[in-house]
Structures are given as structure tokens and as C-alpha cells.
Chains A and B, each alone.
Chain A
Amino acid sequence: MEMNPQQMADRARQFQDRVVPQIDEARQNLVDLNDRVVRFIRANPGTCLLGAVAVGFLVGRIASRR
């Protein structure tokens, strides 16, 4: 199928118009998630530290059993 440069440019523009908003939305979602996680950690430092130690302990336990 032959495509002239104008058609290719149009297709590229359509693809860009379709994909760029999704990428922006995904980036915004990630930024929001990061903000929420950081806010939760700062609000509950002891709980998060204990949870992290527990997770590390479990991983170390599993790794030492193998």
C-alpha cells in the first residue's frame, strides 16, 4: 500500500493526538500516586518503617531458606 508523505504525516499526527493525552494522563496518575504515598509515609512514619522492616525480614527469611 503506497502512502504519500502527506498521508504519513497525517497518520503520525493522528497517532500523536491519540497517544500523547494518554501518556500525559498516565504521568499525572503516577505523580498523584507518588504524592499520596509520600504523604502517607510522612503521616505514619512508625507504621511504615515497621512494615518495611517486616517486609525485609520476610524477604530475608525466604532468601535464607533457599
Chain B
Amino acid sequence: MTTFPGASGNGSPQDPQGGGFGQRVDHIGSDAQQLWSDARGAVADLGQTLDLRGRVQRNPYGMMAAAVGVGYLLGGGLFTPLTARILRLGLRLAALPLVKDELLGMAESAFQDYQSGRGIGGAGPAGTASANAASAGTPRPPTY
């Protein structure tokens, strides 16, 4: 029969003083203390790596938004209609400048076509919107 070196104590009748059990308790206590200190060191290292305090100092609102997002994900809100709605709204807001430029270009070209069709565009290029706006405000005699 195989005997393990650590299996001789543990309060068995072979060890009437109970020294093996006490040693084990001490060992467990020191292990727990070591684990606690390691965990604290790991948390401190993580805090230093992420630099949460510095990030909050530099960009408080951004960090608050990121924290709300993390909480939203943790709460299970990723695959929900609200997320889809927020994403759609974000896409529309992101596309808004492009659409605005496109509409402005279309309006400008239409106004230039209108002016050149009526023959009031003048000899100059009249390419800017401000020139168009200035000429749009002037009263024109009706053409028959």
C-alpha cells in the first residue's frame, strides 16, 4: 500500500498531539493570505494599467459614457430593439453631413440652371452660394 507524505497527520490517532492538523491550518491560512495579497496586487496592477483615474481626469464625460455602455452590455441590452434604434440614429447622424452637402450641391446646381435658363446669370462664373444668394435677393423685371 502506498503512503503519501502528507496523509499521515490530520488528527488521526497516529498523531495524538494534532500537530499535522495545526500545520495544515497554518498552511491554509498562509496560502489564503498570499492569495489575498496577490489579488490585491493584481487589482492594483490592473488599475495602473487601465489608468482609470487619469482617464476620468482627462475625459470625465467620455468615461461616464463608456461606463454606461459597459453596464448596458452587462445588463443584456446588446441584442435588443433599443440597440438597433440607437444604431440607426447614429448612422443617420453620421450620414447627415454627407446628405446636407449633397442637397446643397443639388440646390446650387438647380439654381444655376434656373438662372442660366432665364439668362440672368450674368457674364461672371457665379459659382458660389453667396453670389447666388445675393443675386436671388434682387428684384428682377418680369420677362414676357
Interface residues, chain A, CB within 8 Å of chain B? 37-38, 41-42, 45, 48-50, 52-64, 66
Contact = CB atoms under 8 A, between A and B. Distances in A.
A24 to B, nearest CB: 24
B11 to A, nearest CB: 45
Nearest to B47: A46
A49 B72 contact: no
20 contacts: A41-B60, A45-B52, A45-B56, A48-B60, A48-B64, A48-B67, A52-B65, A54-B71, A55-B68, A56-B67, A56-B70, A57-B71, A57-B75, A59-B75, A60-B73, A60-B77, A61-B77, A63-B80, A63-B82, A63-B83
A59 to B, nearest CB: 6
B60 to A, nearest CB: 4
Contacts of B77: 56, 59-61, 63-64
A61 B70 contact: no
Most buried by A among B60, B64, B71: B71
Interface in B53-102: 53, 56-57, 60-61, 63-65, 67-78, 80-83
A60 B74 contact: yes
A59 B72 CA distance: 6
B60 A53 contact: no
A56 B71 contact: yes
A61 to B, nearest CB: 4
A53 B81 contact: no
A38 B57 CA distance: 9
A54 B78 CA distance: 16
